[in-house]
Amino acid sequence: MNSLLTHLRNASKAYTSGYEVSLSIKEVREIVGMLDAQAARITRISSALEELITSHSRLVGSGDCGNWDVDEEPEMIEARAALDALDGPSPPSEVAEFVGHLENTPKPSGEVA
């Protein structure tokens, strides 16, 4: 996996430097598989954190553990900020440009995506 990511980073740098770059269908499929797996992990973590925040908020709101403003807890602020950030920053422009180039490159005849 790391070698594939290194290869993709190098290809992106070469493309932004004006070199012609191509990836094999196998490499593209591996990259898509890695991205799909990462998206599934992020979704699982996001759901678990949302459930934990909701459960903690209900517990504090019930008064059974005392009485305080759960929204002012640094941990809750950080947890909510982490959830908000899960969309993440946009990829660097050179990576986005390279991926756009790959998406718009005509496929050679006989090659199936």
Q: What is the pLDDT of residues 4-63, one digit of tens each?
A: 778 888 888 888 888 888 888 888 888 888 888 888 998 899 899 989 999 988 888 888
Q: What is the pLDDT of residues 67-83, one digit of tens each?
A: 888 889 999 899 988 88
Cα 82 from Cα 25, distance rounded (Å): 35
Q: Is residue 61 part of a domain?
A: yes
Range of the domain at 32: 2-104
**CA–CA–CA angle 4, 2, 85 (5° rounding):** 100
Q: Is residue 111 part of a domain?
A: no
Q: Is residue 55 part of a domain?
A: yes
Q: Is residue 81 part of a domain?
A: yes
Q: Is residue 39 part of a domain?
A: yes
For residue 87, the model assigns a pLDDT of: 64
Q: Is residue 110 part of a domain?
A: no
Q: What six digits make up the tokens of 102? A: 């790959």
Q: Chain-centre distance of CA 17, in angstroms?
A: 26
Per-residue b or e along 46-74, where b marks 16 or more CB atoms closer than 10 Å to that residue's CB:
eeeeeeebeebeeebeeeeeeeeeeeeee
For residue 19, the model assigns a pLDDT of: 87
Q: Is residue 8 part of a domain?
A: yes
Counted domains in the chain? 1
Q: Is residue 113 part of a domain?
A: no
